[in-house]
Amino acid sequence: MPLSLRALDTLRAAAMLAGLFFHAALAHSPLVQPFFPTADASQAAALDLLLWPLHLVRMPLFFVIAGVLAARSLARHGMAGLMQRRARRLLLPLLVGVPLLHLAMTALIQQAMDQVQRPSPLLRWLRQADELSLPLGTGHLWFLYYLLLFLVLLWVARLLLPPGAKAWLRALPLPVWLIGLPLLLTPALATVSAPHPAPEGLLPQFWALAAYGAYFAFGFLFGTRLQQLAGVRVLALLGVGGGLALAAFLALLDAPRAQAGALLGAVSALASAWLTLALIGLALRTCKRQGPLLRYLSEASYWVYLVHLPLLFALQFACMDQPWSWFVKLPLALVVTLGLCLLSYELLGRRLLGRRLPDQARASASTP
Amino acid sequence: MSAALNRPAIRALVVKDWQLFEKQLAAYVLAGIGALALIGHAQRWSFYVGSLMLIIIMVAVACFAVSTSLLNERKDKTLAFVMSLPVSPLDFYLAKLIGNLITFGLPFLILAGGAVAVTLSTPVPDGLITLVLLLCAHQLLAFCLSLCVAMQVESEGWNIFAMIGSSVLINPLMAGLSQIPDIARHWPTNEVVWSWQALAILAAQLLLSLALLGYTSWRHLRKQAFY
């Protein structure tokens, strides 16, 4: 596998596993305590300083990498081949996963409502309702839905955009992207709640199409020139600029907001865009090798991400009544969930997702 | 029958139709995604604009598929060229049938799926799902009728009449459904109730669609020549 793809593969796996940490840590985040089902009595304000920066870059990384790999697959297999591969890798898990996830989440929350003695505020509120009726949505698999939408929009763009426009987009230099991405993201993030939500509904959301679509488009159009992000000057610029924007974001985000507004939207956009690109540059610069453990985790990470949430919630509901500190509960939830996910990967996931592909094919496989 | 079919030629004709109409299809799909996103925007104005767009696109797709692949080709006299190919009238018919079903079916499924999603995942009452599915089934029936007429009747006037007439019938259908209390009284509620009347109408729409396609196929199976 070429060095740049190895670096992106490692980054993708890290982002997937960071997703597990993110969902586990939300139970102890004071910022979302009123409306997160597994919110625990033991809270840690310091975790918010880690969680929300992670939230700004985790999913954007997936979409950039998915864009890069979509461009490679398109060049190699054509549009029909790309669609066929993504249907197998994204559409099938989405169609199977969404109903299963909905049933599992409903059952878990119902059981927690019946049995937990020290319920979270949301569970307490749900208890007052006559009947539990969770809205049908894509849950944490929303990214599969959006990746499929972006592939359809890619097909549309290839057919409808004039060749001159396509060539112009492909030739956009890095400085234009560095300024353009935050500009595209600002209105999207300013119009939604802060911290920005996951677009889990069954209908496409304009803000998510714009925000994540911009990252996908960047990966697709700029993928062959990503090495430019690994330059010391660019990295320093992105790190300092993104860091300052992040500091402003954390300072402004004192409580959840129904609508972020222009200022918070702008600093979120700057921090998200610049830190995402900085992480890609850093990975390209530093991830030269992939040891056996990293390779295994990278291989299993997609499965882990698909199945982790019901397991994690079951565990967190089970521990909710325990008077332990978050310092015990969080690592416990992480280790046990990861262990169960890896076990299920060995027993089932490896067969369902297919054996490890040869490097070349794997490089072009979809990696949301 | 299958031994006589020239499958590669049928496939080539279907691919040809797909390639010819891919751009327009892409525009319909883009408009469909836009309409669904407008509905998902959760504002009153965007909901109405999006819903209207969705119905317009469904009607347009049904008319587009039939008019471009059959009526326009007839006007452009491409049949003479097709007759020079190693295909039988049945091969040509099957290619047109499959091509039309794909051209219409792809955006139709996306839009119908989106309409169902709108009903089930937004504050719109879930009980409306019966109306949504009956309207989608009507659009399917209208498409099958237009396709059937286009494949049998050469008159442009009759074809236009069939397309517009079948699509416009959506209004009396809505009015008629609202007059059936066992169907309409569940629309404002969150309970999805499939009364026997709703099921009977849906079954009739689907069976009639199949019957129209079956009848057209039967007629073409008996044809010995392109005319």
Rounded Cα distance, A154 and A211, in Å: 15
Nearest to A203 among B29, B30, B40 (CB): B40
For chain B, list the strands marked E by DSSP: none
Nearest to A135 among B33, B36, B121 (CB): B121
Cβ neighbours of A358 (radius 10 Å):
9
**3-class SS at B61?**
helix
Q: Which residues of A touch B (CB under 8 A)?
A: 135-137, 149, 152-153, 155-156, 159-160, 201-206, 209
Structure tokens at B123: 């504050």
- Contact (CB<8Å) A203/B30: no
Rounded Cα distance, A38 and A126, in Å: 13
Interface residue B26 vs chain A (CB under 8 A): yes
Rounded Cα distance, A288 and A281, in Å: 12
Cβ burial A13-40 (10 Å sphere, 16+ → b, else e): bbbbbbbbbbbbbbbbbebbbeebbbbb
Q: Please identify every stretch of chain A with a pLDDT value under 70, giving residue numbers as ranges.
A: 1-3, 130, 132, 354-368
**Residues A64/A278, Cβ–Cβ less than 8 Å:** no
Structure tokens at B158: 């009759």
**Which amino acid would we find at residue A183?**
L
Which residue has 């909901």 as its token pair? B47
**Residues A256/A250, Cβ–Cβ less than 8 Å:** no
Distance from CA of A153 to the nearest CA of B (A): 7
Nearest-by-CA chain B residue for A135 = B121
- Contact (CB<8Å) A160/B114: no
Cβ burial B82-114 (10 Å sphere, 16+ → b, else e): beeeebbbbbbbbbbbbbbbebbbbbbebbbeb
Cβ neighbours of B225 (radius 10 Å):
7
DSSP A257: B
**Which amino acid would we find at residue B38?**
L
Rounded Cα distance, B146 and B148, in Å: 5
- Contact (CB<8Å) B121/A137: yes
What per-residue confidence (pLDDT) applies to B167? 83
Nearest-by-CA chain B residue for A200 = B121
Half-sphere exposure of residue B82: CA atoms within 13 angstroms, side-chain side:
26
**Residues A203/B122, Cβ–Cβ less than 8 Å:** yes
Cβ neighbours of A288 (radius 10 Å):
10
Distance from CA of B47 to the nearest CA of A (A): 12
- Contact (CB<8Å) B122/A205: no
What per-residue confidence (pLDDT) applies to A166? 94
Half-sphere exposure of residue B198: CA atoms within 13 angstroms, side-chain side:
22
Rounded Cα distance, A113 and A130, in Å: 12
Interface residue B39 vs chain A (CB under 8 A): yes
**Nearest Cα to Cα of residue B151 among B212, B80, B81:** B212
* Residue-range domain boundaries for chain A: 3-172+195-227+287-362
Q: Using omega within 30 degrees of 0 as the cis cutoff, is the peptide bond preceding A195 cis?
A: yes
Phi, psi of B98 (to 5 degrees): -65, -45
- Contact (CB<8Å) A201/B118: no
Residues of chain A found within 8 Å of residue B37, distances taken between Cβ atoms: 203-206, 209
Interface test mutation site (partner A, options B21, B33, B111, B122, max chain A beta carbons within 10 A): B33
- Contact (CB<8Å) A160/B22: no
Structure tokens at B146: 């237009």
Structure tokens at B21: 């109409």
What per-residue confidence (pLDDT) applies to A360? 42
**Residues A192/A260, Cβ–Cβ less than 8 Å:** yes
What per-residue confidence (pLDDT) applies to A314? 96
Nearest to B37 among A135, A160, A209 (CB): A209
Q: Judged by CB atoms within 8 Å, which residues 111-130 of B form the interface with A?
A: 114, 117-118, 120-122
What per-residue confidence (pLDDT) applies to A354? 67
Phi, psi of A41 (to 5 degrees): -65, -30
- Contact (CB<8Å) A153/B22: no
Distance from CA of B173 to the nearest CA of A (A): 27
Which residue has 């959301």 as its token pair? A205
Render pLDDT for B174-211 as a digit per residue (tens, 0 to 9): 889 989 988 888 888 888 888 999 999 999 999 999 99
Render pLDDT for B117-143 as a digit per residue (tens, 0 to 9): 878 877 778 888 899 899 999 999 999
Distance from CA of A36 to the nearest CA of B (A): 20
DSSP B170: H
Nearest-by-CA chain B residue for A159 = B23
Cβ neighbours of A114 (radius 10 Å):
9
DSSP A205: -
Q: Please identify every stretch of chain B with a pLDDT value under 70, giving residue numbers as ranges.
A: 1-4, 224-227
